[in-house]
Amino acid sequence: MSGKASLTSDHISRVLENRAVDDLERDLSPDFENLPGRFPAGASVREESVARRWGYLGSERHNREIPDSAWAGQIENFVGTVSLPVGIAGPLRVRGLYAKGDFPIPLATTEAALVASYHRGATLLTASGGCRSFLLYEAVSRAPAFAFSSLIDLGKFVLWVIGKQDEFKEIAASTTQHGRLVDMGIAVEGNHIYLDFEFTTGDAAGQNMVTIATQAIFDFILAKTPVNPTEAYVEGNYSGDKKASAQSFTSVRGKKVTTEAIIPADLIAKRLHTTPEKMCDYWRMSALGGVLSGTVGVQGHYANGLAALFIATGQDPACVAESAVGVTRFETTSAGDLYSAVTLPDLIVGTVGGGTGLPDQNGFLDLMGLAGAGNSGAFAEVCGGLMLAGELSIIGAMAAGDFTRAHEKRTRK
């Protein structure tokens, strides 16, 4: 993985706190015990089918009338709501640093075949003993920008700013109980400078939190700087907010997660109707296709699953723009099985704040066992598992020649 040494060290210390390395290895090993029973999947939307699915989930159907007051602070110029169907994929078994268990995955979408595809991949991973998913580290950035009349003035400003980092941390801490400033990057272009402030944000996605903290630091800089800038902006479009960017792989925006699993060849034959070798052949060609087309990262369809999960659980759907950046890798093992991995460097997710508090969205987080404080790390690791499930399913369909047929079956009467 790549990232700031200080962030990585702090994260590893938190992971190993009150936990021995041997215990960690046991916790992360594939688990074939007590595999969950088959979810009552299918295309039927009849009431009895829906009732069976809620019965399997062990929960009462939580969709209900929501008072208008629930939308206060969430929307402007309010005129009403829209409805989207939500399906369940899984259960998905995750063996993570934070996520441990079998997770039903709620996906809100109008794309037929999408839930079926992620469901197929999730059940394949579960039958393989689950996936390992690691939250590597986390930080959310905001990057104010300043212009000066010359490089000489800019240099004086840089020397002053570097010496004020402890004060910046104190100022940031005064604006929030849950976030803290952990690092500051510097990028210079001519007589322009961008300060990349990186914050941890607790269990919130944190964009508003870091904006407010950065504004306080920004105001302090303008009041105290020994060299006045000719221009100054609280965000210089350097942070990567709501867009794919090349710096994703050398830094982090949100939570950086990597997930892996080894899928036995016999399971691939049974569930995907192909072989590990054919899946690797397709992955190689698709990876080169991504490089030739200039994509940021190389993957099949992260945006599909993330958008559906984000809408169902109250995340900011616009953050799919950066969250769907990532890399998928497939290899055959010496035993002839399939090694599969995904890495997502920019997951902007949370389990508190924003839309996560809305009744239905909070209900689906609760269904996963991930609502509220203390669960954002686990939620991010589950996102990694879901992306791996989607990649396994779509690449399996391509390798088996089933991709078009599956869409015809699901989308046409």
Q: How many CA atoms, within 13 angstroms, populate the side-chain half-sphere of residue 306? A: 28
Residues 212, 208: Cα–Cα separation, whole Å: 6
Q: pTM of the full predicted structure?
A: 0.89
pLDDT at 293 over 50: yes
Averaged pLDDT, 307-317: 96
CATH 3.40.50.12140 for domain 144-233: no
Q: Which listed CATH number (1.10.645.10, 3.60.40.10, 2.130.10.10, 3.90.770.10) goes with 5-30+43-60+84-137+254-411? A: 3.90.770.10
Q: How many residues does the chain have?
A: 413
Rg (CA), the chain: 23
CA proximity to 205, closest of 97, 298, 322: 322
145-199 pLDDT tens trace: 999 999 999 999 999 999 999 999 999 999 999 999 999 999 999 999 999 999 9
256-278 pLDDT tens trace: 999 999 999 999 999 999 999 99
Q: What is the pLDDT of residue 21?
A: 67
Q: What is the pLDDT of residue 241?
A: 87
**Catalytic residue annotation:** 111, 316, 407
Residue 139's Cα: distance from chain center in Å? 13
359-387 pLDDT tens trace: 999 999 999 999 999 999 999 999 999 99
Domain edges within the chain = 5-30+43-60+84-137+254-411, 144-233
